[in-house]
């Protein structure tokens, strides 16, 4: 089986004539768009149809070019050709700022927009897209200002984000007389040897000391840019901008966070129970959060992972099963950690191929198999969207984590259900709770941290030590007495790429949303059986053409009702009670 993904269906390299042809096509489309935007006159229906067509064509060629470059760079952050290509393409795309702003202003000025949309099939298909443009007009500046902002972002937030990726992927980590990388050292948190887990944690913290100042400057610069943009555009706050871009109501977020806060003490009980099992009386040290328990020592190869996931999902849906098999067989996945490769895991849609590409840092644990299930859930979400218009494939952050977390739940619940040995069963339940603890306690700590950074950054520069203090404060609030406060992780702000985007703030609560929304959907699946599957696919497809709340309504769920979130959290609370009983 392949160790690396294949990108040859896109391009064989930057010297591939297809890459040059697509870049030339992009140049022509940009000229066509500018000419179109300069003459927005005549029949509104004809203007809107041409706008939709041009945006589709631009999306197609831009996605192919940028996907290739980003995927190449993610496995080699020192790849100068990819860095140059990304910079060149985004400089070209900055020319869109003014003409797109002109189009936004034109659409905003159409008092009868809905009647124009209703008059044409193509426009009806893109109703959500067009209405969002009208809504976005409230926060759009003049074409000249938008062009300047777009240009400055290239050497601003985009460059600072690249610096964080570069520093964290290339910093040498000294460990037991040799040099390794952060991805490898962080994987050791899952090692069965407690001495390895602790020494790896200490080596990781020491490595951040080398790069903390550069990353602190990255975070400060990006967050200040976001603050200024929000002020210029008229958003109440970066969180307000995030919710509007996510097509999600504040009432939904408030209901979610309020329910999470109620259940935090239950997760603290879980961590203390795991701590006692490992010999700690004062809560878990941070470096033991991912410690595998007795009975959870199985080691998986990538072939094992494929066999496990294909067999498992064949009982759920054959369409998803076939897609998972394709992902393994057709080199969609880049598996193993190495120097220069970014950490963590992600899935990227490649719309030109109607496929996805998945990056992991596979270490052979059950958790790594579950991570594959998670990322392949993203791929299945992309698969369900594949026949949408390109302009109807943009999924907002919260619902983006739905299919991925649903897959996690399917994978873990199946393993737990068939296990009869109480020691192994306890280990499997704990593995699921370990992941759930991340989407509740860890995600809440990230939300608190990012909130505090935005609150403080407007008035002062936050040096690395101050950022560490804010992170420790957030961890203490979120983890309570579940963690030993003498052994927390002050540098979690440095290693999480989610903080380092000028266009995507608060990429934290969507994981909690997805985790709990998926559990609610899974409970519905257990109740309804096979009849649920077509509804589930319909929901995933709808995420590109409706609000977060509208997608949930497909399954008859009101996300503003706190009781829905409580019911999902109670599923986890019951698992915690079962785990504690097995511990005792």
In the chain, the domains with their CATH numbers are 17-155 (1.20.140.70)
1, 302 Cβ separation under 8 angstroms? yes
Pairing between strand 178-180 and 346-350?
unpaired
74, 8 Cβ separation under 8 angstroms? no
The whole-angstrom separation of Cα 174 and Cα 203 is 7
Ramachandran region, residue 529 (left: φ > 0; alpha: ψ -120 to 50; beta: rest):
left
Helix then strand then coil, in percent of the chain rounded to 5, is 70, 5, 25
- Binned at pLDDT 50, 70 and 90, residue 415 comes out as confident
DSSP string across 439-452:
IIIIHHHHHHHHHH
Give SS3 for 356: strand
Q: Is the dihedral of CA 17, 19, 25, 30 positive or negative?
A: negative
Q: Is the dihedral of CA 13, 15, 17, 22 positive or negative?
A: positive
- Residue 150, pLDDT > 90, answer no
The whole-angstrom separation of Cα 108 and Cα 127 is 14
Task: Find the helix or strand (DSSP H, E) in which 350 lies.
Answer: strand 346-350
Check residue 378 and give its pLDDT: 96
Q: How far, rounded to the nearest angstrom, does the alpha carbon of residue 169 sit from its chain's CA centroid?
A: 19
What digits encode the pLDDT tens for the residues 69-101? 999 999 998 999 999 999 999 999 989 988 999
Structure token pair of residue 298: 């199985």
40, 47 Cβ separation under 8 angstroms? yes
Structure token pair of residue 361: 């840092």
Q: What is the pTM of this model?
A: 0.84
Check residue 513 and give its pLDDT: 95
What digits encode the pLDDT tens for the residues 442-458? 999 999 999 999 999 99
474, 448 Cβ separation under 8 angstroms? yes
Give 358's strand partners: 333, 347
What digits encode the pLDDT tens for the residues 531-581? 999 999 999 999 999 999 999 999 889 999 999 999 999 999 999 999 999
Structure token pair of residue 323: 């897609």
Q: Which of 221, 241, 228, 232 is nearest to 157 (CA)?
A: 221
- Residue 351, pLDDT > 90, answer yes
- In the chain, % of residues over pLDDT 70: 100
The whole-angstrom separation of Cα 408 and Cα 374 is 5
Q: What is the dihedral of CA 232, 236, 242, 248, to 10 degrees?
A: -140
Task: Find the helix or strand (DSSP H, E) in which 123 lies.
Answer: helix 121-125
- Binned at pLDDT 50, 70 and 90, residue 343 comes out as confident
Q: Which of 544, 513, 557 is nearest to 384 (CA)?
A: 544
**Can you state the angle between helices 44-74 and 80-93, rounded to 10 degrees?**
160
- Residue 299, pLDDT > 90, answer no
């Amino acid at each position: 089986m392949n160790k690396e993904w294949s990108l040859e269906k896109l391009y064989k390299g930057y010297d591939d004539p297809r890459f040059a042809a697509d870049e030339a096509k992009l140049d022509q489309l940009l000229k066509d768009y500018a000419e179109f935007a300069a003459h927005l006159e005549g029949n509104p229906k004809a203007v809107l149809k041409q706008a939709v067509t041009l945006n589709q064509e631009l999306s197609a060629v831009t996605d192919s070019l940028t996907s290739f470059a980003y995927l190449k760079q993610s496995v080699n952050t020192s790849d100068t050709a990819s860095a140059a290509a990304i910079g060149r393409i985004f400089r070209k795309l900055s020319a869109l700022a003014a003409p797109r702003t002109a189009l936004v202003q034109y659409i905003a000025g159409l008092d009868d927009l809905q009647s124009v949309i209703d008059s044409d099939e193509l426009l009806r298909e893109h109703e959500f897209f067009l209405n969002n443009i009208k809504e976005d007009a409230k926060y759009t500046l003049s074409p000249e200002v938008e062009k300047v902002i777009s240009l400055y972002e290239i050497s601003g937030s985009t460059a600072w984000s690249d610096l964080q990726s570069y520093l964290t992927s290339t910093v040498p980590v000294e460990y037991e007389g040799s040099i390794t990388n952060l991805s490898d050292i962080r994987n050791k948190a899952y090692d069965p040897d407690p001495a390895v887990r602790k020494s790896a944690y200490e080596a990781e913290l020491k490595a951040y000391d080398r790069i903390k100042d550069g990353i602190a400057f990255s975070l400060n610069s990006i967050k200040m840019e976001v603050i200024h943009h929000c002020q210029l555009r008229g958003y109440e706050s970066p969180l307000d901008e995030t919710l509007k871009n996510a097509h999600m109501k504040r009432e939904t977020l408030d209901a979610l966070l309020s329910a999470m806060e109620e259940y935090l003490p239950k997760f603290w009980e879980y961590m203390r129970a795991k701590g006692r099992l490992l010999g700690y009386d004062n809560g878990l040290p941070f470096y033991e959060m991912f410690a595998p328990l007795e009975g959870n020592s199985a080691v998986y190869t990538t072939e094992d992972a494929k066999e496990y996931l294909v067999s498992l999902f064949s009982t759920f849906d054959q369409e998803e099963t076939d897609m998972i098999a394709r992902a393994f067989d057709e080199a969609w996945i880049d598996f193993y950690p190495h120097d220069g490769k970014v950490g963590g895991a992600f899935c990227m849609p490649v719309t030109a191929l109607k496929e996805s590409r998945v990056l992991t840092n596979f270490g052979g644990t059950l958790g790594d198999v579950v991570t594959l299930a998670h990322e392949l859930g993203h791929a299945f979400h992309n698969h369900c969207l594949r026949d949408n218009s390109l302009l109807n494939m943009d999924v907002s952050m919260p619902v983006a984590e739905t299919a991925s977390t649903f897959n996690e739940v399917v994978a873990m619940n199946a393993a737990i259900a068939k296990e009869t040995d109480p020691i192994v069963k306890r280990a499997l339940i704990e593995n699921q709770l370990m992941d759930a603890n991340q989407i509740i306690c860890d995600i809440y700590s990230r939300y608190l941290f990012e909130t505090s950074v935005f609150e403080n950054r407007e008035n002062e520069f936050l040096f690395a030590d101050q950022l560490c203090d804010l992170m420790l404060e957030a961890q203490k609030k979120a983890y309570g007495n579940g963690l030993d406060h003498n052994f927390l992780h002050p540098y979690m702000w440095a290693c999480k790429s989610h903080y380092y985007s000028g266009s995507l703030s608060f990429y934290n609560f969507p994981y909690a949303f997805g985790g709990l929304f998926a559990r609610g959907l899974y409970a519905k699946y257990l109740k309804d059986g096979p009849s649920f599957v077509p509804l589930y696919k319909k929901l995933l497809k709808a995420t590109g053409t409706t609000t977060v709340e509208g997608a949930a309504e497909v399954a008859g769920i009101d996300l503003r009702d706190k009781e829905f979130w409580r019911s999902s959290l109670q599923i986890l609370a019951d698992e915690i009670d079962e785990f504690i009983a097995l511990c005792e």
